Chains A and B, each alone.
Chain A
Amino acid sequence: MRSSFYIAVMCIAVMAVSCRRDEPTVWTPSIKAAIAHGSLGLDDVLPSTYFYVDNNDVWHFYIEQNLTDFNIDSLVEIPDTTIQRSLVLPFTGGPFNIAAGTELYNQSQNNVLQTQGALLKEVVMRGGTLHYSFVSYVNGELTCTCTLPGVTLNGSPAVLQATTAATTNDFSPATASGSIDLSNYHIDLTGTSGTGYNLLESLLTIQVADNAASPAQVYGNDSVTIDLSFSDATVQYGRGYFGQHQYTIDETIAFGQDIDMPDGELLLDEATLALSIRNYVGVDFQLKLNELSGIQNETTIPLEYTPLYDWQFFTRAQDNAGAITPTAQSFFLHTGNSNLVNFVGLLPDQLHIQGDMQINTLGNIGLNNDFIYTDQTVEAKAKLDIPLQLATESIAFTDTITLTNAAIDLIAKGEIKLVLDNYFPCDVYLTAQLKNEETIIDLVDGNLLTASYSGANTPSRSIVPIAITPELLALARSGAYIILRIAIATENYPNYQTITAQQRVDYLLIGEGDVQLEYE
């Protein structure tokens, strides 16, 4: 009977095992479905902040670019510098035992602050550090205090204080040091007289420490030294006479760095450039541009506009309790007075500016009241506005779309139809590549989308087949990205075409094939 029991147990065990799921269930239905759709207008290819539509529904390309700040805040630069002051105690002979709390020295003095040639009356600091150290050769505990009446924060003067220990028997001096953060400190540089410049008043007091353990033992010729060091000092406001200077400007500026600038060449019907130079600094200066040119690859086009290359005189700005009234010179360039459309038609990605600048050519006519707020000095701004009435044989825009693995984690074979409806009055050549760091697969190789009839709502339709292959899917799963390149050629070149807000390329991706499905 034992064998019957074993048979029963075996049956139950085999039944339990036979119900297990060993592998996924897999099948491949034939699916036809839209994968993705969208619309590609100019505002999709380029950041919409650079485009607007006018009352006539015409797209304008608009960009405002700061060309240069002329680096004029260097006028009030304070280099790293150290002021050292040494004092000798007024004793002869010795030793003298001086009781705790007794003042040994008290004297006010001007200290000269180095500048880059400016005669500064006052500055407000943006940042930097004032390091101080006291070195004592006195055999006793001293409280050393350096008060800077002209260095104030919210009206309170800076007080630098430290206690030095008694010197040791080997006559080594005792040192005590500290530092303060100069941010937002106002520094009066008129000195003790109140009429000087670059002078920092200090009041030095030396006394035997109140809580000294024993009286100080002082000899004649004992001394105390103080070092004041400015490091990394930056100024947010300065006043005084900044001196006469001459600068050479020679800068190359990357233009529209946050835009994927199209490549190619445009014939533009019209464009305007408002160029303004504003002086927010309390100095007179004159400026002469020798060159303003646009660069794309190896090609350079100088901007031709005669007034821009004459000497321009800028009088000083007015400071009314912090409210600055700038002085300015403006230039308005357009098709009729310059070569602007050719200049812009190059689609430059760099600007080169070369010129000369002279400051305070008439001397100290401001009577030591030159001023500067370094946040805003001299600005040169360009505002470019291009109504998109253009002609081109080839202008190309590029965009990149990164794929995530989750979106394309499938096994399939078949075809993707790319359906394109072109509403532009231009022939459009489309190139699409799927690529990662190692592999490139051409999805669409320069297919032509013929131009829509100008003014019509009926687009021209193109259908591009893309084969779904294992290689394509493997590449898509590898974290690849799609590079779309759209090259536009306007009809009847060089006649101009107007680009409006309604013009676009609609696209639709339809998958049609066998998709492997499975469940675990």
Chain B
Amino acid sequence: MNRLFAHKGTSECTKRFCAFVLVVSALLLDGIGFAQTDALWLMQDSIKPWASMAMLRSDNAMGSNSIDLEFINESVFGGTLEKDQIQRQSDRMKSVNRIGGYSASELCFYNFKDTLFNRPHWGLQAALQTTYMASAYFPKDLFTLIYQGNQQSDSLALGPIRAQMQAYQKFSVGLFNKKNWNSISIGLVVGQRMADLSLYSASLLTNAWGDTIDVAYNGTYHRSDTAVSGIANGAGLGLATDINYHLRMPNNKGIISIALHDIGFVVWNKNTQTFRLNGSNMWTGIDTRPYISQSLDSIALPNFEDSLKYSRGKGREIKPLPARIQFRYLHHLNESSYYEFGLQIMPSTAALPRVHFGLGQRIFDNFLFTQSVSYGGFGRWGFGAGCYYMPKKSWYFAVQTFHLGGFTLNSARSRNIQFSIAKIFKS
């Protein structure tokens, strides 16, 4: 057993600090994400003498390369977006901008008692997971139109735009290695909701007088069955697999880890709608002649959706899940500290590969503190920290973020948090 957990006592001071970190992190939490196997577990190179373990873990992230968190918070959770606040976002924007977020929570059960196929190192695991993910990349002019209006420019290029959203639940079963935490599982995915907009080109032209506005657009939009709602509603069905592989270097100098999460797909059902948008509209105001001549007596604004020119179809759609591919190299510096390099790739046009460098240090025997610097994902640079605490060997708490600034600075453009709570049952 690793010495990090060798100390049996836990000071009151440490408890309070951990509670403070957890509560403050939770208060500031805005999204959830996906975690690699915690370093603490990997550093234990032995079979645990436990009967089972139940773990609740959650991974949340949100970020943008141009829009700050204060703006995102007020957009998502309500508030007033002031003009200077909007202008600051606009000034930061590039021709193409990214924004995204995800929230994944998982309840996982590990059975340490079983001996599978005469292999005592392997046990059974089962998990229930729910995931919400949304991302988009968009041109600056789209932001300008929505938040600043069309007075800024007579000609606005609104494309290309790619915006995706998926919500799904997954039930998975698999095997895990009790010693090194290698694992493989396969899961049944139930699609809850999906929307996917691809606007290849779009423009809005306002003539000098403002008496004519021309809108042109070309793209496609898919959305899942709108007749059903709620968790696990059957709008889609699919399969996914998760793999964690850890390779220990000779002399226990380090560990190379590869993790593949949510590698799979969802077949969205036959009521999935497809809209092919291709056309243009001209707005010249409400024609009031019928009201003047009194053939109509109440003015009604035209419905925007009715004004769009599109063809519509229904049928099954196969969409890949928002997978995550992670690499990590962890190198022990001494008995109480290590450093690591990591890379996470999300195959999304709105997210860059995220690279990070981190340091881990034991402060108490059962308490690990980490620091990290990262770049990429939905946002940009981030400085992070993590705490791992295992009191009395029957509970386990962990919390980590790559973006501490996301919890302290309004101008930060990313925020993420990962946490785990586990209850260990002994035989």
Contact = CB atoms under 8 A, between A and B. Distances in A.
A8 B292 contact: no
B211 A419 contact: yes
B289 A44 contact: yes
A29 B146 contact: yes
Contact of A15 (B29, B76, B151, B292): B29
A31 B150 contact: yes
Interface stretch (B77-85, B236-244, B370-378): B77-85
A7 B19 contact: yes
Contact of B299 (A14, A23, A404, A512): A404
10 contacts: A1-B391, A4-B15, A11-B22, A29-B149, A34-B213, A37-B285, A401-B292, A406-B301, A407-B286, A514-B149
Interface string A391-418: 0000000010111101100000000000
A14 B287 CA distance: 52
Interface string B271-286: 0000000000001111
Interface in A1-44: 1, 3-5, 7-8, 10-12, 14-15, 18-40, 43-44
Contacts of A21: 76-78
B150 A18 contact: no
Nearest to A402: B297
Interface stretch (B261-269, B329-337, B357-365, B392-400): B392-400
Nearest to B291: A401
B10 to A, nearest CB: 10
A444 interface: no
A48 interface: yes
B209 A510 contact: yes
Contact of A10 (B23, B28, B56, B395): B23
Contacts of B421: 8, 11
A509 interface: yes
A35 B292 contact: no
B75 interface: yes
Contacts of A23: 78-79
A464 interface: no
Secondary structure call for the B interface = mixed
Q: Which of A7, A15, A20, A45 has the most CB of B within 10 A?
A: A15
B285 A25 contact: no
A31 B153 CA distance: 11
Contacts of B18: 7
A39 to B, nearest CB: 6
A27 B86 contact: yes
Interface of B: 15, 18-19, 22-23, 26-30, 56, 74-81, 83, 86, 145-152, 206, 209-213, 283-289, 291-293, 297-301, 391-392, 394-395, 397, 419, 421
A162 interface: no
A337 to B, nearest CB: 37
Interface of A: 1, 3-5, 7-8, 10-12, 14-15, 18-40, 43-45, 48, 399, 401-404, 406-407, 419, 508-512, 514-515
A476 to B, nearest CB: 11
B77 to A, nearest CB: 5
Q: Which of B23, B74, B287, B288 has the most CB of A within 10 A?
A: B288
Contact of B27 (A18, A35, A38): A18
Contacts of A7: 18-19, 22-23, 397
Given A18-B26, A37-B285, A401-B291, 14 more contacts: A1-B392, A7-B18, A18-B29, A22-B77, A22-B78, A30-B150, A31-B151, A33-B210, A34-B213, A34-B285, A37-B286, A402-B297, A403-B299, A515-B149
Given A36-B288, A44-B289, A1 B81 contact: no
**Closest A-B pairs by Cβ, 9 of them:** A29-B149, A34-B285, A23-B78, A27-B81, A32-B210, A38-B288, A30-B149, A30-B151, A407-B299
B306 to A, nearest CB: 15
